[in-house]
Structure formats: structure tokens, C-alpha cells
Amino acid sequence: MRSAPYDLGVDSGGDGFTVTGPAPRLSWKDPVDRDIRSAYLVESMIGRAEPIAAEVTGRRLVAWPFEALGSGQRVRWRVRAAAPEAGWSEWSEFESGLLDADWSASWVSPVEPELGSAEDAGYGKRAAHVLAGRFTIDADPVSARLYSTALGVYTAAVNGERVGTIELAPGSTSYDRTLYAQASDVTGALRVGENRIEIVLSDGWYRGQVGAFRLPAGWGTVIGARAELHLEFADGSRRVVCSDASWTSARSVITSADLMGGQTLDLSAPVGDAASVLVDVVAAPAIDWSPSPPVRVIETRIPHELRQLPSGAWIADFGQNASGWIRLSDLGSPGTRTVIEFGEALDRDGDLSTSHLDSERPGEAPLAFVQRDEVVAGESGGADAAFEPRHTVHGFRYARITRSDDGPLAPESIEMRIVHTDLERTGTFACSDVELNRLHEIADWSFRGNAVDVPTDCPTRERLAWTGDYQVFAPTATRLYDVHGFSRKWLRSVRDDQLDDGRIANFSPDGRRIKHHLDDQFAMMTGSSGWGDAIVAVPWELYLSYGDEQVLAENVDAMVRWVEWALEQARSTRHHARVQASPEPEPFERYLWDGTFHWGEWTEPRERAADGTRIDPIKHNPMAWFMADKGEVGTAYLYRSTATLARIAEILGRTDDATTYAVAADRVADAWRRAYLHPDGTTSIDTQASYVRALAFGLIPEDRRERALDRLVELIRDAGTHLGTGFLATGDLLPVLADGGRADVAYELLQQRTAPSWRYMLDRGATTVWEDWEGIDEHGDAHESLNHYSKGAAIRFLHTHTLGLRQEEGSIAWEQLVIAPVPGGGVTWARGTHESPQGSIAVEWRIEGERMHLSTEIPSGTTARVVMPDGTEHRIGAGRFEASALLPITQAVPIAG
């Protein structure tokens, strides 16, 4: 039986091995049921130095207890409880990266036409470049570390051997302020004599197309790379090889490369002439090391179906909508041109359809959506054997493949490479309802397809890390995966992009750089409630889930600037309709946030015209939509963010701020109630979303909550027991109903088959969650993005209520649990797990006749309150626990068989 600490880790990323900054935080788990704040002894061996030890308190994100690390130091460490008889853990290892001050390599850039000149191919069409350096060694090294980064997207090779497994390096950041490097062990790729380092560099996020309208990213006009190879030999000598003026630049056989548009590879093209690189002509921020896991190829699939169209093109169906690309191993005879087009849907004739992803502005022609790769075969064999476009990424389930030689295609020659951040799974769920399991699966896939270095809205049309989407989904994401480092990385970009006045950009990293273009029309739509509030909501969720106080400290100043800006807008602006109704504002209105732009609930189910066609409110009357009063949403979010900020300030010891924002939150809540809440508990907005939000945020006083809940149910019934929520409120809808004693309605919504509903998506063949509730309509036509994860936030209910596993109020990092299953909808059993910072939690229950039988496993340092359906409670500690109880008669089911 395990008795020593296990699962040692540090809060950093890395490819092949963990790479940290100078002071990593340490974490581990303890199988012995000790208090989470117990004393432990950490022993470390740094390089070849003698072991050193330090006593620490706690075992979760413990501050580095030794002197700050220098560049490239290798650390072995282990831990045990401070009690003398305690046993040591196994050794764990990590390395510090090359710190910014210690880089000696030059930035090298390719020789290319000036942007905008007649010779420049333009955005989405520029070729990749090969930057290369040669060096000679007289002996095999015992260790070799390649440190590299780029302004652009790059792949590296040493003597023709790929470096690392990371994709889309160096990742998506706000390049004006943050740049991450990668470290790789290349010892085995080196040889005595001449060696060659090669970096293939393309525009990537830095200079490529951005967003739905494929605008050029504004981070810079010249791409560049930086590489440094650190060698250590058996005799103890060391050598550093750097990118410098001796390196060369040549045009690649990748004749165009764009992350959105696609990649073209011409293997028949002559190799470009090498020229001297440009040296240090780019401006780059300090180099740092990412806390996030890398983007990798996670899975490979061959087509679920491959069929030929009358045109001669082939349609490959991979059975799953995801992000990635296709690896093609049969390129045909020399000169054969193969075009691969990617999409999420088929038209009524079974051909690829992408028009639903076209982008439109009122009064302008649609911008056609295109994801297209192309390869021209060279001489057979060698490098010609396969095409894998690693300088782009696509969102797709289907691919249309057209070959100039009309040759046959074998399914095994076509591989879907699923590419996203390599997140560690931490949560599982299954139950007796196979369709709920399928709903959980498609929501999981939808998040995976959008976790591509940053949390994007969709992997197709925009691929932008919209703040509102992740604010909504983060509490669900933490139930599925360890998103701690992934989210911290993204939050750094959110802070980097914050406007001087405190507004949070709609998406980050913001390649459009709205903070520098305040005259842009889009700047008027920056600072929306529910979107900008991500700067408060996401760090708070990370604190609750992982117990990371530092993530609060990293973001609190940005939170303050955001909340202060929003409070100022409430004080200084009023919606024009309120001004017309009463020129003189009521005193409470200075806490009502209704006078600036809000996206609002966003993508609620659409109304239909008399002829049955669906009405898009933006296209139907864009000015009316833009000018509509969305103050109910704005004020509700202002309350939640201000109240949360007060709690964060208290945790961080900022007592004056805690008092200030607690008072402000009370006044905002009072303003919301005066403006939108009737004495009987109904709201003036009177939509499902308004009730869900008010109940979830605690805006409705206790004596009026029952009537508000009743009215929510009435609206659901009036809609034929259909939901009516959009982006912001859907994730809270089912928990609000269940917590209010109406789990029956929550399960009826989960069982609803007609649109709008989740099972409608399943019945229409969805493999990811749609942006529009009717993403595939009754005619089989596609609408909007078919991989937009926000509405999948509803699966959190399956964990928190169906399974019944959630944190106790006031708990952090899963130290105190509530296990309280809420069965319904005919579900007869459920089981699930969650890998918490303390260890694995497992819950399983089963209904047999009139009784529920429940079992659970609780890890060390954790306590739980088990609440059975008959109301009986059990308070338990670590270990296995079992209970059985009678069910209310409405939940009892016949004994099978």
C-alpha cells in the first residue's frame, strides 16, 4: 500500500520534459490522511551539487523553498512528511529554462519582399522560409539542449530530425508583451563533424490572418527566429551555438502558409537560393516559459467513410468534428496536384458545404470561408512520401480531396491528425442514459477542438479566444481537464491586451490590437459585460478549483481596473430609453450599467417570421440590436464581478479594497432590483435568461426567489418545455432549476428532442456543440459554427447534480465536498471521478427498486458531506464509504429482471 507522497509536479509546461522559470511552485499528493497544511520536507539536487533540504507547509503549489534557479539547471527533487518515520517519494525531475538575460543568440529573419509591395504575396499567401545554421563538433555530446522561439510559427530540425513533439510553436500570445520559448533534448540527433540546425518559419499568429474577416495580425511586419544550442561533453567542456549572421535564409518548398487559410507544399519546386539572414531587425519582448502544456498531435484517425463524388473528388468523413489537419501519405505520381478542402458539414447532395461559415457585415458581400491545403508531388520516395501541413490548423469533420491525376485514394493513406493542447483529463462521467453520455462526449470534444493553445470560440471561422466563451465554460473545463496552466497562460494575454482605460478586449490575444486603435468601430464594442468579466471570473474559478492564490494576485490589478471602468460607466452613462423616460436619473441609477455596449445574452433561440424563416436580430435590424437596452445583463455582471473582487481582495489582505467593493456590490445589487425586479419576484425583462442569471448570481432576495423560479418554469412551459437561453445563461439553467427544487424540469429539458434542445443536436448528428441552437435545421442545412463550446457548459450539471459531486460552499481545491445526487429523467445509475489537488475522488450510485445505493472514495486531506435523497446526511473523511437510502416515491424504479 502506498504510504509516501506521489504525483509530484511543478506549475509549468514543457515538451518532453518540464521547463520552468527560476522559482517554480511544487505540488504533490499524500496517500496518508494528513491535514492539507501539514509540514513536509523537500529535498533537492540541483545539477551536480550536494542535496539540500527545506521544510515547507502544505503540499499544493508550495513556493520554491531554495535560492532562485539559474538558466538550464536540472533539478531532481523528492518529498516526505516531516514526521521522522515518513517515507520519501520517488524522485521527480525538471529543468529551468534559459532565462531571458542569459540569451546570447541573435534574432535572425528571412530576406523577403517588403509587406505591401508588388512582390509581396499578401496575407494568407506568403511562403515559409528556411533559416539554417551549420556548426562542427569533434566529439559526441553527453547533453544537448536546443532553446528556440520565433515571431511567427516555426518547426525545427537538427540534421533533418524533427525537434520535439510540440505543434504551432511558439504559441499564441500578445506578442508585443509576451513570448515563450521551447526547450528540446537533441543529444541523439547530433554527430561528430558538421551539423545543421534548420528552422522553417511562417507568418503564424504573429503576421497571419486573424478573425472572421481574415484581417492581418498587427503584431509586427517582419518575422524572425532565435535559437541557441547548449552542448556539454564528456570531458566537462561546454559550448553554445547561436543563431547569428552566419545563418542563411532560403525560400521553402512550403509556397504558402497561413494558420487560417491553409498551407501549400510544392515538392516539385526548385530549392530556393540561400541568402544571408537579417540580424536583429525585429523587436521582441523578454522571453519566458509557458505554464501551459504544449499543443501536440493527440490522436490519429483514418476516414470513417471515403466516397467519390460524380465530379471525381473524394469526400472523407472522419466521424468527428475536431481541430487539426490531414496527413496524406499517397501523393501520386510526380507533378500530381492534390487539393484538400476542410469543413464541418455536407450539403444536400453530400458535397462539402462551408457557406454557413461565411462572414457577413450589414451592407457588404459575404466573405467566403476557406480552409484549403495543397500539395504537388515531387519525385517519389524520401521527403515526398507524405504531406503533413504543420504550419496551419483547421476545424473539420469532412475533407474534400481533389487530385489532378484522378487516381484512387486508399483510406489508410488519409489520416486525420487531431491537434490541440495536451490537457490532462481530470474528470469522468457516465450514466444509464446513453444519450446523456453522448451529450457529455460532444461537449468534451467541443472544448478539445477549441483548446488550441488558447481557448478559441471555434476552430474554423474565427479561432479567436473570446473572453465571454471561456468565462462561461471555465467551471465546466475544470471538471474535465487540468486547465490550470492553460488558463494562466491565456490570462496573461488578457492582461497584456487590457486597454489603458481598464476595458478588457473582446478576445485575447488580440491580433487586431484594439488597445492601439481606439477609433476602430470594433473598439466601440469592447468592454461588454459577460465578456470583460472573464478577468474576474476565470481567476476566481482557478482559485476555487486549484487553490491557487497566486493567480488571484497576478490578475487583481487588472480586475480592479476593469471593475472601476465599469462602475464609472454606470455613474456617467444612461441608456437613451431611460433618458427619454426620465431626464433626471434616480439616485440608484449611478450603479446601473446600461449606457454602453453589451453583447447581451447572445444567440438565444431565434424567433420565426410568419413564413417560418428564422429571424437573425443582427441582420434583421442591426442598429436596433446594437442600441438595445441590455442593462439587466450589464448590471447583473457588474454585481457579480464587484462582489467577487471584494472576496478576492479580502483573501489577498487588501482590506480597504475588500470593504470598498463589498459596499459597491451591495449598491449595484440594489440598483438591479430597483430597475428590473418587481415586488412579486418577476422581472421586467421576463426572459428565461434574466431569471436564470438573477437566481444564479443571488440578486433575488430569499422571499422572492420562489416566485422567480415559478416564473422561470412558466416561461419554459410556455415555450413547450424548451429552453430559451443563449451563451451566458445556459450553463446555469439546469443547476438553478435543480437547486430550486425543480429537477424534474431540468431533466425534461435534457430529454427534449425538438429544437431548441441538446438532444436535437444529437439527433441531427452533432459531434460537437453548435453555436446556434439549430445549427443543422429541419432541411439538413448548416448554420453558423458547428463547434462552439459555450452551450456545452450545461454538462457541468451532470457532474454536480446527476452524479452529485461538487465542492462545499466556501471550499477551495476540493478540500470539502458535497456528494448529493439528484436523480431524475429515468437515470438509474451514474458514476464519475474527479482528480482533485488532494487526489482521486470517485462516486457511484445505483437505484434498485425503492432504494439508492451509493459508494464513494475520498482522498487524503478531504472531508465530505454525503446527502442521500431521503435527506439523511453523513459526514465522512478519507477512505471508502457506502450508504443506502429509500427514495422518494417519484424516483423509485422497478427492479430490472
| Per-residue pLDDT tens over the stretch 400-427 | 999 999 888 999 999 999 999 999 999 9
Three cell numbers at 164?
520535439
323 touches 449 (CB < 8 A): yes
Q: Are β-strands 19-20 and 805-807 bridged in parallel, bridged antiparallel, or unpaired? A: unpaired
Do the Cβ atoms of 716 and 745 come closer than 8 Å? yes
Mean pLDDT, residues 711-727 taken together:
98
Q: Are 449 and 395 in contact (CB under 8 A)?
A: yes
Residue 525 DSSP one-character state? G
**Integer Rg of the chain from CA:** 28
3-state secondary structure of 207: helix
The one-letter amino acid at 208: G
For residue 896, pLDDT over 60 is answered with: no
Query: Cβ distance 202 to 130 under 8 Å?
Result: no
How confident is the model over 263-274, as a mean pLDDT?
A: 90
Query: What are the E-state strand segments in 691-828?
Result: 805-807, 816-819
What is residue 379's predicted lDDT score, i.e. its pLDDT?
83
Tens digits of residue pLDDT in 619-644:
888 889 889 999 999 999 999 999 99
CA distance readout (Å), 530 to 492, 552, 563, 601, 631:
19, 19, 12, 9, 12
Q: What is the pLDDT of residue 890?
A: 61
Q: CA 326, CA 866: separation in Å to the nearest integer?
A: 48
* Contacts by residues 566-571 (CB-CB < 8 Å, ≥ 24 positions apart): 566/502, 566/527, 566/529, 566/532, 566/593, 566/634, 566/638, 566/641, 567/591, 567/638, 567/642, 567/664, 569/527, 569/593, 569/595, 569/596, 570/594, 570/595, 570/635, 570/638, 570/668, 570/671
Band (571; pLDDT cuts 50, 70, 90) = very high
Number of Cβ within a 10 Å radius of residue 51: 11
Mean per-residue pLDDT for 131-160? 98
Q: What is the DSSP letter of 768?
A: S
pLDDT at 247: 98
CA-wise closest residue to 326 among 253, 394, 279: 394
Residue 893 has pLDDT above 70, yes or no: no
Confidence of residue 897 (pLDDT cuts 50, 70, 90): very low
Question: Is 465 in contact with 507 (CB distance < 8 Å)?
Answer: yes
Set of cell numbers at residue 102 = 542569459
- Average of pLDDT values for 247-257? 96
* Predicted confidence (pLDDT) per residue in 459-514, tens digit: 999 999 999 999 999 999 999 999 999 999 999 999 999 999 999 999 999 999 99
pLDDT at 364: 84
| DSSP SS3 for 394 | strand
Looking only at the bridges linking them, the beta strands covering 305-308 and 314-328 are antiparallel
Residue 462, all three cell numbers = 474565427
pLDDT range class, residue 380, cuts 50, 70, 90 = low
Residue 179 in this model has a pLDDT that exceeds 70: yes
- pLDDT grade, residue 119 (50/70/90)? very high
The pairing of strands 863-867 and 805-807 is unpaired
Surface-to-core class of residue 493, CB atoms within 10 Å of its CB (0-12 exposed, 13-18 middle, 19+ buried): buried
Determine the average pLDDT of the residues in 646-656: 98
Mode of pairing for the β-strands spanning 839-848 and 345-346: unpaired
pLDDT of residue 270: 85
Quote the CA–CA distance of 437 and 443 in Å, as a whole number: 10
Residue 872 CA to residue 886 CA, distance in Å, equals 10
pLDDT the model gives residue 894: 45
Average pLDDT estimate for 736-753: 98
Whether the predicted pLDDT of 873 surpasses 80:
yes
Flag whether pLDDT at 382 surpasses 50. Answer: no
Q: What are the tens digits of pLDDT across the range 316-346?
A: 999 999 999 999 999 999 999 999 999 999 9
Question: What pLDDT score was predicted for residue 616?
Answer: 84
Rounded to an integer, the average pLDDT of 823-847 is 98
* Closest CA relative to residue 336, chosen from 344, 345, 325, 328: 328
Angle between helices 743-751 and 730-739 (to 10 degrees): 140
Task: Kindly give the interhelix angle for 730-739 and 688-697, rounded to the nearest 10 degrees.
Answer: 70
Rounded Cα gap, residues 184 and 654, in angstroms: 42
Contact 499, 519 (CB under 8 A): no
- Give the chain's mean pLDDT: 96
How much is the pLDDT for 650?
98
Question: Does the pLDDT value for residue 892 go beyond 60?
Answer: no
Q: Are strands 372-376 and 337-343 parallel, antiparallel or unpaired?
A: antiparallel
